[in-house]
Amino acid sequence: MKCGIVVFPGSNCDHDCYHILKHVLKLDTHWIWHKDEGLDAFDFIVLPGGFSYGDYLRPGAIARFSPIMKSVIDYANQGGRVLGICNGFQILVESGLLPGVLMDNAGQKFICKNLTLRVENSDTPFTSQCTTGQVLSIPINHGQGRYFADDDTLKRLKDNDQVLFRYCDAEGNTSDAANPNGSLDHIAGIANESKNVMGMMPHPERCADPLWRNVDGQLIFKSLIESSLAHT
Amino acid sequence: MLAKIHVTLKNGVLDSQGKAVHHALNDLGYSEVQDVHLGKYMEIALKGVSEQEAQTRVTEMCEKLLANTVIESYRFTLEPSE
């Protein structure tokens, strides 16, 4: 199975993703430079976290016009699976592959901590190895992760089961106290309408190496692998 | 020609920076402050376009890149460069 990690100038979670996919999950993993074009050979693509182009103007705003993004958009529109993590999620909303926007955290502070998420829909290529309602422990690390969308968009997301993760407490209950950044409706991750593109602010690659106690992040990557196998 | 562009959050979108500055101004004793909105100001120098073309092209720049129209609105003026 062949997967690719897109590297933008300023990506800084690309090596973490590479390590998990290549060394832990033993996939044929490739770097994709932002100036490259063409992605047809890949089973899935990861847009990693970081600060592409220094987050200038808005996070993801400039990365979205990188040469590779034209290929990513074509790839996604043909049903290719794309996972965007943190800055990758921000790039996906800027590119229009996912609806809404990610704004400054409500508390104006950069937040780096472990927290818990509730799986809202396990019937997707990104969550098939989870169960709906399952609570995952995955860290966040961002200053601009407050998900926002207008009422119509939020309604569409909910009607079509596109919300995949919500911030919650350890028991799986959502509350303002368990919402780290003020995200609309506690949203931590969403998919597009056809569920082949997913963006999430938490970092599954930071809790997927069995050398660590927490490997909840593996569930996301293993789901992607399963769905890719089913596809081929 | 010089385009002077303001990008601000749309009404109804929580402006957390504006809110923080608002609180700080109130704390400093400026109790008359009712509301604060923060935005971005950009100057873009243009060459070889008429004012009409500049109008169209700067609008395009704002829509494509400079503002995220999901949450931001923009306005600009065009001035002859010095």
Cβ atoms of residues A224 and A107 within 8 Å = no
Q: Strand A101-103 vs strand A146-148: parallel, antiparallel, or unpaired?
A: antiparallel
Q: What is the maximal distance between C-alpha atoms in chain A?
A: 45
Provide the pLDDT for residue A98: 98
B65 Cβ under 8 Å from any chain A Cβ: yes
| CA end-to-end distance (rounded Å), chain A | 9
* Structural fold of domain B2-79: Mth169; Chain: A , (3.30.1280)
The identity of residue A167, as a single letter, is Y
Give the closest residue to B66 by CA, choosing from B15, B4, B1. B4
pLDDT band at residue B16 under the 50/70/90 scheme? confident
Q: Which of A64, A91, A94, A103 is most worth mutating to test chain B (most B CB atoms within 10 A of its CB)? A: A103
Give the ipTM of the model, two decimals please: 0.83
- In the predicted model, what is the mean pLDDT of residues B45-64? 96
Provide the pLDDT for residue A120: 98
Mean pLDDT of chain A: 96
B16 Cβ under 8 Å from any chain A Cβ: yes
Cβ atoms of residues A98 and A199 within 8 Å = yes
Cβ atoms of residues A120 and A183 within 8 Å = no
Give the closest residue to A149 by CA, choosing from B16, B67, B31, B71. B71
Cβ atoms of residues A180 and A113 within 8 Å = yes
The number of beta carbons lying within 10 Å of the beta carbon of residue A218 is 20
CA distances from B42 to A102, A157, B13, B49, B61 (A): 22, 34, 21, 19, 12
Residue A183's closest chain B neighbor by CA?
A: B14
Q: Which of A55, A56, A58, A190 is most worth mutating to test chain B (most B CB atoms within 10 A of its CB)? A: A58
A86 in active site: yes
The identity of residue A24, as a single letter, is V
- In the predicted model, what is the mean pLDDT of residues A38-42? 87
The domain spans of chain B are 2-79
Position A231 pLDDT exceeds 90: no
Q: What is the pTM of this model?
A: 0.93
Position A207 pLDDT exceeds 90: yes
- In the predicted model, what is the mean pLDDT of residues A129-156? 97
Please write the tens of the pLDDT for every residue from A78-98.
999 999 999 999 999 999 999
What is the Cα–Cα distance from B68 to B9, expressed in whole angstroms?
9
A31 Cβ under 8 Å from any chain B Cβ: no
Among B17, B40, B65, the residue with its CB nearest the CB of A104 is B17
- In the predicted model, what is the mean pLDDT of residues A91-114? 96
Domains and CATH numbers, chain A: 2-231 (3.40.50.880)
Please write the tens of the pLDDT for every residue from A66-78.
999 999 999 999 9
What residues in A contact B66, CB-CB < 8 Å? Answer: 57
Provide the pLDDT for residue A42: 95
CB contact under 8 A, B68 and A94: yes
Cβ atoms of residues A105 and A113 within 8 Å = no
pLDDT band at residue A232 under the 50/70/90 scheme? low
Give the closest residue to B77 by CA, choosing from B49, B48, B42. B42
Q: Which residue has the tokens 């043909």?
A: A78
CB contact under 8 A, A100 and B16: no
CB contact under 8 A, A182 and B16: yes
